[in-house]
Chains A and B, each alone.
Chain A
């Protein structure tokens, strides 16, 4: 192959072009690949490693797994962190609690979001785009600020209590912040736009004549909804529910700011192990457990979903 050996008569630019054609593809794949590999995949291997270490008063605060001695390397794996997660039912409780709170919040979000999405989809064109903009707007404003807004409302000295005391309905302030109910409010409030948008896009595409046909044939409106509209909007329901469930299950900020000390959620537990107890190995073990029991099932579910959609289309 004579073309492979660059001739001296080629200019620098020509050589560069040849090199790019030969290696450009590798370069385009390689740069994001290497970055994600180094800063996304490798960190998990390190978390896995440290989850087998022991906490120590040192900098960094964990023991080394490898000891270099004369004969070679000895590896000390400490399964104690995982045994501890199993023995102390704080962790199992936090895990189940997260799933329960996220699931209930997702259902509430669906119940509020569905009629809103339906109403927007059936609104006139100009009104519709304004309403959609109003749904999207809170998403771009700070998440922390929106959670914060509820502190002022639900607090012991907050606006609801002040109002109710002023009207004389209650004489003692109600405890609303630092309860599980406040966490539901926070999650529903924060993730409502995520539910409305996918629901809207499926409802908007839906053929209205199908419902009209059902009504013409004597179907009652609520039955037409249950038999026609709801099944047809299932992809939107599923997409919206996942978009709400996934971020809320690992949520830290909302239970921390609105929940009470007893509102255990797994993300908050990990945070406290790391920041309050400074126990890096236990925090790592919690992270690995979350990965196995939370993230992997979710990704697997999504994978099956996309496969099914591909098959259908």
Chain B
């Protein structure tokens, strides 16, 4: 291959990854800066971590976000899995077009529209039936569940449509009930997709600012809302510390999961190679 081209590709990669990582690294470095100004390095200090952990508002917001994230990811899994199953295995039924539209639409819907429409729904419902009384954690959870369920449905659907149906068909021929087939055969096979769907939903929920801002009430400030309100005014060393913690946690998770995937792939290839031998 021509040397000119590989030099070009190499420099594109170096430039691209520098573009992706230098801003994050700068935030991490300056989280250990003693001074309040970002631009002036005055010495190493961990005091912003201490002040982050003594910021009650921030801790409460983080706690709210985690609770909402776990609840809505779990609910989204419970709703999105049957939705994905319906899309890939149930064939035609009345109202299928509307159903597939309602699964595809949340993925392209601007967040401001989703947020506004859900808020207006909650306000109208409160006027008409008295529920939900006020807005808070529960309304944010419902909102996040709705758009996360669409993501889970898409993940599950694409896993199912790439999967061999012969085992399911064999079980059906042998007289197993549909529910049993699902729980004994289909579910274990799509388990990685379910895990991915849950993690994706959890991350999306934890990261969402716009929708939560619309449907939140007093006392249900989430972490992104808290971060946004302090970041609007400019750079804050506490946010640098928070960012560093988030990045480290995510990197550790990604590293562990990719190591696990790598190991299971290796085991599988070893198993298949011994089978062949």
Q: Which residues of A are interface residues toward B (Cβ below 8 A)?
A: 17, 20-21, 24-25, 28-29, 31-33, 35-37, 39-44, 46-47, 50, 60, 112-113, 115-116, 118-120, 122, 129, 131, 133-138, 140-146, 148-153, 155, 157-159, 161-162, 189, 192-193, 221, 246-247, 249-250, 252-253, 256-257, 267, 270-271, 274-275, 280, 283-284, 287, 290-291, 294-295, 298-299, 302
Are A115 and B234 in contact, CB atoms less than 8 angstroms apart? no
A253 to chain B, nearest CB (A): 6
Are A295 and B113 in contact, CB atoms less than 8 angstroms apart? yes
Chain A residues lying within 8 Å of B79, measured Cβ to Cβ, are 31-32, 35-36
Are B113 and A287 in contact, CB atoms less than 8 angstroms apart? yes
Are A32 and B153 in contact, CB atoms less than 8 angstroms apart? yes
Q: Which residues of B are interface residues toward A (Cβ below 8 A)?
A: 2, 5, 8-10, 12-13, 15-17, 19-21, 23-24, 26-27, 30, 37-40, 79-80, 82-83, 85-86, 90, 93, 95, 98-99, 101-106, 108-113, 116-118, 120-121, 123-124, 127, 142-143, 145-146, 149-150, 153, 177-179, 203, 206-207, 209-210, 213-214, 224, 227-228, 231-232, 234-235, 239-240, 242-243, 246-247, 250-251, 253-254, 258, 262
Chain A, residue nearest B255 (CB): A133
Are B99 and A33 in contact, CB atoms less than 8 angstroms apart? yes
Chain A residues lying within 8 Å of B118, measured Cβ to Cβ, are 39, 43
Are B16 and A144 in contact, CB atoms less than 8 angstroms apart? no
Chain B residues lying within 8 Å of A43, measured Cβ to Cβ, are 117-118, 120-121
Given A131-B13, A159-B38, A287-B116, is A148 in contact with B227 using a C-beta cutoff of 8 Å? Answer: yes
Given A144-B224, A189-B20, is A42 in contact with B27 using a C-beta cutoff of 8 Å? Answer: no
Q: Is the interface of B mostly helix, strand, loop or mixed?
A: helix
Given A32-B83, A221-B2, is A143 in contact with B207 using a C-beta cutoff of 8 Å? Answer: yes
Are A35 and B112 in contact, CB atoms less than 8 angstroms apart? no
B9 to chain A, nearest CB (A): 4
Chain A residues lying within 8 Å of B253, measured Cβ to Cβ, are 140
Chain B, residue nearest A114 (CB): B12
Cβ 8 A contact of B124, one of A29, A33, A46, A271 = A46
Are A141 and B116 in contact, CB atoms less than 8 angstroms apart? no
In the complex, what distance in Å separates the CA atom of A148 from the CA atom of B209?
13
B245 to chain A, nearest CB (A): 10
In the complex, what distance in Å separates the CA atom of A291 from the CA atom of B251?
37
B140 to chain A, nearest CB (A): 12
In the complex, what distance in Å separates the CA atom of A20 from the CA atom of B176?
13
Chain A, residue nearest B214 (CB): A274
Are A28 and B86 in contact, CB atoms less than 8 angstroms apart? yes
